[in-house]
A and B are shown apart, each in its own frame.
Chain A
Amino acid sequence: MKPVPQRSSQLEPGREAGLVRAAQGGDQAAFTEIVRHFQRPVYRVAYALTHNASDADDLAQETFVRAYQAIGRFRAGEPLYPWLARIAVNLTYSLFRRRKRRPEISIEPLVEAGRQWAVDDDPAERAAESEQHERLAAAFAELSHEHQAVLTLRVVEDLSYDDIARTLGVPAGTVMSRLSRARVELRTRLQARSGEGP
């Protein structure tokens, strides 16, 4: 299995605060650097929640537009990424509410993975892994939005409980219990899909 790459969403504290102050002062270049630094994690969050490349692209761009609008109210010195992730999560929830439906399971990961399978590794192993990803993505899509968000921020983005709490606007204790319930729920749904029973 391909190892999960180490997430590095944080700039150096002094560097990040300087960029924020510069952006608040109207420095377009500073804001562009913020975008370039956080575009990947923001996109990951958007994609993990929507499982749709087009939606993720639109949500990621909109996240930075909203950040540009509101960065004057951001307190320099606070970690910037939880704030950006919060914007992305809220925009995703808004998208779900507008569509009145749960996000659809996209075949894009499979297509993307298919391109990679063509160049390396055993096709049989890749097929088994793809099947597992498909089951996982389907089970994940069945979770509540809250559970999807907390799992995304922890498992995909590797955020700490405190940063997840800032992002979701809940206490750290709630993050711990919510994560535990989300994992149990995901395991139950996976077992149901595998025919193992809950």
Chain B
Amino acid sequence: MSHLTDEQRSALADGTLEGSARAGAERHLETCAECRAALAALLAQDRALASALERDPGEAYFGSFASRVGGRIRAAGLAGAQAREPGSRSLADWFRSPRKLALVGAVATVVAGAGIVMLTSRELRVPALREQEIESRVAQEAPPAPSPPGIQPENQRVTPRETRSAPPLAVESVAPLPAAGLDEGTARPQADSRAKTGIASRVPTAVPAREQRVPSNRAYEVRRNEAGEDVPVGRSQGFAADPRPLAPAPPPAAPGEPVYVRKPRYAEPLVSDKRADALQVGARPRPADAGASAPSAEQDAPVAAAKAAREEESKSVVTPRGEQTATARKDLAAPGRALGLMGLGDRTDRGPMLQVRGTPEAFDGLPAQPRALAKNAQRLTVIAEKVGLAPAWDSAAAEWERVIEGVQGGPLESETRFQVARARFMAWQRAASEKRGAQATQALRTFLEHAPQGAERDSAQAWLTRLKK
């Protein structure tokens, strides 16, 4: 037997069940003592609740109730009820309804949200002032020059779309250059002109950089990196034509055979922040080499050409095209100086660019004690280069001085004295003092007494000049 539900009992107690529902409930009650008891308890609970919640404050209270209400109405200064008859409703009355206010708020929220979405989902036009600024900058960078053939004049205009996304970027125009006629002789001058700032040339041409900028058919965005280089934002932008020399044409295919054309790749700039004594390009790395190499999977492949620039003295060397190994040591060996390295060329194969630190293997032939001292001196030199503190250079110099005893009169004496002089000079440079200056001057002079011609001697003379100043 299914009993009456709570809702049925509640409705039965209130007398709201009608028709068959009421008849069915009454029939059930006749046979179900449990439901009868529950219904009786419910009615008793209602009666008790009514009695518990009731309070009669007395006739005196209600006798003056209406007058107190009237007094409150007068105190509030309320207008008569007739002032708000249905026909005289105002807009303010309409807004008094909480439900209507909620409706108005919801509509306003939806409209505002739609407006925000519309505003943020479409690009705004760049203000005219912004365009003028960009055009003036382009004009400043690129003085008027005759357009190369094939370039439509209207294309010279820098469109807002190409420069809008990066406000602080510079806009550089690069003219399309013919691929023919570019050789190492034309590439060298510009490489020299940019070596000072370490900016790799992307347009190997004999024309100076400032002069060869002519209005192009497209502008491209560049972003200045930490080294001060303007790097194009995305490779697909920028060049109307490949400014670099093209790869040699593949041999003609036999009739009917497919022709495979190797797509030229850009040479990645490689700037090493490590200090080097010598630079080798295109050589297989040796176990004794302690330097950085270019990210290449083909260690044996040569590079087409390479440029090494010593930033501090605006000195650079560009290796000839096609050389398997080009050693720039005699031109660039400048211990303690940063070298900017970059491979030039358009060949797909790129070889490693090795940075060989000093000539550590040269000391391997020494007896055990001086060899150990040399190794320790090299280790202290590396530490001094890393920490860059004068005491570290002092320690390295002292260790190199201990090495001198073991190499005196031999072929490594000059190299060792150079290391001593260099460490002393670096210590003085980091924290100049009279003592360090005297030590550096003495070490440099000692080295220069028997130093052979070359980069090390040039460097030592330059340091000595600085010390004298």
Tell me which of B10, B54, B69, B84 contacts A48 (CB under 8 A). B54
Contact between chains at A43 and B57 (CB < 8 Å): yes
B469: chain A residues at CB < 8 Å are none
Main secondary structure of the interface of B (DSSP, over half): helix
A186 to B13: give the CA distance in the assembly, Å.
Answer: 15
Contact between chains at B82 and A26 (CB < 8 Å): yes
A102 to B126: give the CA distance in the assembly, Å.
Answer: 60
Number of interface residues of A (CB under 8 A): 60
Tell me which of A62, A109, A186 contacts B45 (CB under 8 A). A186
A35: chain B residues at CB < 8 Å are 65-66, 69
A133: chain B residues at CB < 8 Å are 48, 51-52
CB distance from B408 to the nearest CB of A (A): 94
CB distance from B68 to the nearest CB of A (A): 6
Instruction: Indicate whether A44 sits within 8 Å of B54 (C-beta atoms), given known contacts A32-B70, A136-B49.
Output: yes
CB distance from A172 to the nearest CB of B (A): 9
B41: chain A residues at CB < 8 Å are 187
Query: Does B91 interact with chain A (Cβ within 8 Å)?
Result: no
Contact between chains at B83 and A72 (CB < 8 Å): yes
Query: Does A70 interact with chain B (Cβ within 8 Å)?
Result: yes
Contact between chains at B52 and A136 (CB < 8 Å): yes
- Name the residue among B45, B50, B57, B84 with the largest chain A CB count within 10 angstroms: B50
B85: chain A residues at CB < 8 Å are 24, 72
Tell me which of A57, A60, A68, A140 contacts B49 (CB under 8 A). A140
Main secondary structure of the interface of A (DSSP, over half): helix
Query: Does B80 interact with chain A (Cβ within 8 Å)?
Result: yes
Cβ < 8 Å to A, chain B residues 420-442: none
Contact with B along A69-89 (1 / 0, CB 8 A): 111110000000000000000
A39 to B64: give the CA distance in the assembly, Å.
Answer: 11
Query: Does A168 interact with chain B (Cβ within 8 Å)?
Result: no
Instruction: Indicate whether A72 sits within 8 Å of B86 (C-beta atoms), given known contacts A26-B81, A161-B14, A176-B16.
Output: yes
A35 to B63: give the CA distance in the assembly, Å.
Answer: 11
CB distance from A4 to the nearest CB of B (A): 5
Inter-chain pairs besides A47-B53, A180-B9, 5 sampled, C-beta below 8 Å: A39-B66, A61-B69, A72-B81, A179-B14, A183-B45
